[in-house]
Structure 1
């Protein structure tokens, strides 16, 4: 990957729907070589996809909570059971296996605090192997969510 590839990626990260001719103009290439580079980056898996970033509040998911989850045991079957369960919960936007005080850090989006309380009590806390959940309610997001 060279500097031109990095330039293409930087533009696409911010403007995923940009036309190839506009992308080529912004990075200083003609359209054909630009398109070849984009296709190569896609084929190599560097560009994994394109998606729309939706405002959660506009879809009734205006409360974002980060939840730190600690498991009871860390055996492969226990971890696998938790991971199977967590990926089935639509309110979980992202689940990260992390180091530190928690085993997992979840990004959860729901309508409001009562909806999170219901999610916590009836879905998250009942997953296999969950020992503790520590919740952090987002009051304000200062940067755009790129995912």
Structure 2
């Protein structure tokens, strides 16, 4: 994250917890006037610190979905390979998070599917066909212990 002062950091923390908070409520939470708060939020948006706002959509109860963490290793780590892979990953709605990693795998994906059969379909039809993939290693989550995102 960019060099943020304490107030900007506080604004970001509050917005992470509730992206729909009104500017008036946000201003109170961070100790600013509404106009000063809005000005800082706009500056954070222009600087790319705040890149957007999203609704987290929940389809069914948490037990109605399976979370899979998948490590992907590419054939090559050239800029072209990385870009092609990342572009393709962004087209798959089941992949909720994708991180470029250090270590043995190049990427770590968080995938949410309905069940093991749905993951098998995704593995065959999507993951194994992603550009440049040399190895796929998946782990099924038993349960979330801590989640810093807003409740789903």
TM range, smaller chain? 0.7 to 0.9
Cα drift, residue 130 of structure 1: 1.9
Separation (CA, whole Å) in 2 of partners of 1:26 and 1:83: 37
Are the counterparts in 2 of residues 70 and 103 from structure 1 also a CA contact under 8 Å?
A: yes
Match of 1:15 in 2: 18
The TM-score with structure 2 as length reference comes to 0.81
Cα drift, residue 82 of structure 1: 3.2
Match of 2:142 in 1: 139
Match of 2:76 in 1: 73
Match of 2:40 in 1: 37
Match of 1:128 in 2: 131
Match of 1:109 in 2: 112
Helix, strand or coil at the partner of 1:7: helix
Helix, strand or coil at the partner of 2:122: helix
What is the CA RMSD across the aligned residues, in angstroms? Answer: 2.5
The TM-score with structure 1 as length reference comes to 0.83
Helix, strand or coil at the partner of 1:55: coil
Give ranges in structure 1 of 5+ residues lacking alignment.
Answer: none
Separation (CA, whole Å) in 1 of partners of 2:148 and 2:122: 23
Helix, strand or coil at the partner of 1:36: helix
Match of 2:96 in 1: 93
Give ranges in structure 2 of 5+ residues lacking alignment.
Answer: none
Cα drift, residue 144 of structure 1: 2.6
